[in-house]
Amino acid sequence: MNINEIIKAKRDCQELTTEQIEFFIKEYSYGNIADYQASSLLMAIYLNGMSEKEILDLTIAMSKSGDILDLSQIEGIKVDKHSTGGIGDKVTIVVMPLVASLGVPVAKMSGRGLGYTQGTIDKLDSIPGFRTNLELDEFIRNVRKIGISLMGQSENIALADKKLYALRDVTGTVESIPLIASSVMSKKIAAGADKILLEVTCGSGAFMETEIRARKLAETMVKIGNMAGKETIAVVTNMNQPLGRFCGNALEVKEAIDVLSGKGEPDVVEVCCVLGAYMLKMAGKGDNIVTNMRLIQNQIDNGEGLNKFKELIQRQWGDSRVIDEPEMITTAKYKIPVEAKASGYVSAIEAKNIGQAVVNIGGGRFKKEDEIDYAVGIEVLKKIGDTVEKGEPILYIHANDEFKAKAQISFLENSYTIVPEKVEKIKEILDIIE
């Protein structure tokens, strides 16, 4: 068997065999297949797609390319949660303490920012002292002791995905359903949870811009998860605008504290309640989603979710005074308004641009080794369906570098479409795929 044959087979729309897929993943991981050959195969997959069997084979081969975590020392049903990426998506930071406060064990590995999206681990790193680089035994000990731990993804999980993702990022092959599905599910399968809840984002701030493609990705991942023996459910959420009010690492942690304190924006609260309700169901804590949503809301109202977050911060060496004094988390020097170019109703927001602007002012990385400025970000004042007056602020840029911030103004102004006729607010939850 050789890689050239495999590339030609996919180029000619043939179904790859299990052996061919295993060969590719193994030999690429060992460095025996060149990046230009792997890129060529990725592009053939991007253009010609894959069957369900091929996607499952690719997922399993990638999940076996690194460590497979054993969480059996943690009692109870472990439900992992994963988002395909969004703008202002602080759901993990809110929902995990909420479900943990109801007795669901939370052992969650999360990622860093990718492209124009910010990652949970970068956000948590903005809390003074908080450690996300835990050893596996400390991670497991935390869950056994307080019911929750969040850490950065171990370097050794799904090693082939790491290499392939970096290659996809620079070869125009990210937005492929088989490649995204296998990338996400290989990591989730290797991370050792019993069940998987997926948040598949859809819209101008997501990899999947249309509902048809988001649904297809969700259905593919649900099938793959179930075929791999892990019950999987996907919630398709609307990412046509940032979620909540803030985008940026420290700003999102402060907003998460607000949500857990009962002061959250309705869109974030709704998404957290729905995802939390499905996590409770999967963990065997109740089948009725409406009742479960009430249980989650109740943990916000009675402060138990916030207490659990405080316990998590203390346990992972963070300064838990931030819960009562969020201003202890770093704050940017400047707050620069971006103004509406016309009067009317906001009909569309190019959410990706808002994520990209956060990266441009230092809140994300252009290169893996770049340092992040945790304090910076964007505050979203106007959402789809809101009325605006010409010259009124629609966004605030929170920045430490005034020059870089001002350079984003026209880019951000042009990210809003304002029309004269009335526009409806958007729906947050688009579909549930079980």
Q: How far is the CB of 111 from ligand URA (least distance, A)?
A: 7
Among 171, 197, 203, residue whose Cα is nearest residue 184: 197
Nearer to ligand URA, 233 or 273 (CB): 233
- Taking CB under 6 A as the rule, does residue 94 contact ligand URA? no
Among 66, 60, 50, 57, residue whose Cα is nearest residue 21: 57
Q: How far is the CB of 151 from ligand URA (least distance, A)?
A: 16
Among 104, 62, 112, residue whose Cα is nearest residue 195: 104
**Residue 131 and residue 313 in contact, taking contact as beta carbons nearer than 8 Å:** no
Catalytic residue among 82, 188, 245, 281: 82
- Taking CB under 6 A as the rule, does residue 184 contact ligand URA? yes
Catalytic residue among 161, 258, 267, 373: 161
- Taking CB under 6 A as the rule, does residue 140 contact ligand URA? no
Among 201, 172, 169, 164, residue whose Cα is nearest residue 58: 164
Task: Identify whether 168 is a catalytic site residue.
Answer: yes
Identity of the amino acid at 193? A
Other CB atoms within a 10 A radius of the CB of residue 359 amount to 20
- Taking CB under 6 A as the rule, does residue 65 contact ligand URA? no
Q: Which residues pair with 396 in a beta bridge?
A: 337, 379
Task: Identify whether 398 is a catalytic site residue.
Answer: no
Catalytic residue among 40, 110, 126, 183: 183
Task: Identify whether 82 is a catalytic site residue.
Answer: yes
Q: How far is the CB of 23 from ligand URA (least distance, A)?
A: 22
Task: Identify whether 161 is a catalytic site residue.
Answer: yes
- Taking CB under 6 A as the rule, does residue 85 contact ligand URA? yes
- Taking CB under 6 A as the rule, does residue 180 contact ligand URA? yes
Sign of CA dihedral 295, 260, 255, 367: negative
Q: Is 175 exposed, middle or buried (0-12, 13-18, 19+ CB in 10 A)?
A: middle
Nearer to ligand URA, 165 or 411 (CB): 165
Among 40, 59, 183, 240, binds ligand URA (CB under 6 A): 183
Task: Identify whether 108 is a catalytic site residue.
Answer: no
Among 40, 63, 65, 84, binds ligand URA (CB under 6 A): 84
Mark the segment that binds ligand URA (CB under 6 A) among 128-136, 178-186, 197-205, 281-289.
Answer: 178-186
Instruction: Report the site for ligand URA in 151-170 (rule: CB under 6 A).
Output: 165
Helix (H) or strand (E) holding 152: strand 148-152
- Alpha carbon separation from 24 to 29, 118, 168, 176, 322 (Å, rounded): 8, 31, 15, 18, 48
Binding site for ligand URA (CB under 6 A): 84-85, 165, 179-180, 183-184, 207
